[in-house]
A and B are shown apart, each in its own frame.
Chain A
Amino acid sequence: MSAVASDAVAPLEPAAPGEKDAPPQAARGGPGRRRRSAAPVMLVTLALAWLGVALVLPLVAVFAQAFAKGWDAYAAALTDPMALHAIRLTLTVAAIAVPLNLVFGVVAAWCVTKYDFPGKSALITLIDLPFAVSPVISGLVYVLLFGAQGWLGPWLLDRDVQIIFAVPGIVLATVFVTFPFVARELIPLMQAQGRDEEETALSLGASGWQTFRRVTLPNIRLGLLYGVLLCNARAMGEFGAVAVVSGHIRGLTNTMPLHVEILYNEYNATAAFAVASLLAMLALVTLVARSWLEARAPELRGERAAQS
Chain B
Amino acid sequence: MRSFMPRRRAALTALAALLVGSVGSGAAAVAAGQTVTLLNVSYDPTRELYEDFNRAFAAHWKSHTGDTVVINQSHGGSGRQARAVIDGLAADVVTLALAFDVDALRKQRRLIPDGWQQRLPHASAPYTSTIVFLVRKGNPKQIRDWGDLTRRGVAVITPNPKTSGGARWNYLAAWAWAKNRPGGTDATAEAFVRALYANVPVLDSGARGATTTFVERGMGDVLLAWENEALLAMRELGRDRFEIVYPSLSILAEPPVAVVDRVVDRKGTRAVAEAYLRHLYSRDGQAIAAKHYYRPRDPEVAAKYARQFPALELVTIEAFGGWDRAQATHFADGGSFDRIYARR
Contacts and interface: CB of A to CB of B under 8 A. Distances in A.
A56 interface: no
Given A164-B87, A221-B4, A267 B73 contact: no
Residue from A99, A213, A247 having most chain B Cβ neighbours under 10 A? A247
Interface string A141-155: 001001111100100
Instruction: Give the bracket for the number of chain A residues in contact with chain B.
Output: 20 to 34
A74 to B, nearest CB: 20
B48 A266 contact: yes
B266 A160 contact: yes
A141 to B, nearest CB: 13
Nearest to A169: B88
Interface stretch (B12-20, B311-319, B322-330): B12-20
Instruction: Give the bracket for the number of chain B residues in contact with chain A.
Output: 20 to 34
B136 interface: no
Given A92-B22, A247-B74, A249-B72, A267 B236 contact: yes
A165 B263 CA distance: 14
B187 interface: no
A209 to B, nearest CB: 12
A290 interface: no
Contacts of B236: 267
Contacts of A213: 5
21 contacts: A95-B15, A99-B15, A143-B87, A148-B87, A148-B109, A149-B108, A164-B88, A217-B4, A217-B5, A218-B4, A248-B74, A248-B75, A249-B73, A250-B74, A264-B212, A265-B44, A265-B209, A265-B212, A266-B47, A266-B48, A267-B237
Interface of B: 1, 4-5, 12, 15, 18-19, 22, 39, 44, 47-48, 72-76, 84, 86-90, 108-109, 208-209, 212, 233, 236-237, 266
Would you list the 8 A-B pairs with minimal beta carbon distance, nearest first?
Answer: A148-B88, A147-B87, A267-B236, A165-B89, A95-B15, A247-B89, A248-B74, A249-B74
Given A95-B19, A213-B5, A262-B75, 15 more contacts: A143-B87, A146-B88, A148-B88, A148-B109, A217-B4, A221-B1, A247-B74, A247-B89, A249-B72, A249-B73, A265-B209, A265-B212, A266-B48, A267-B236, A303-B1
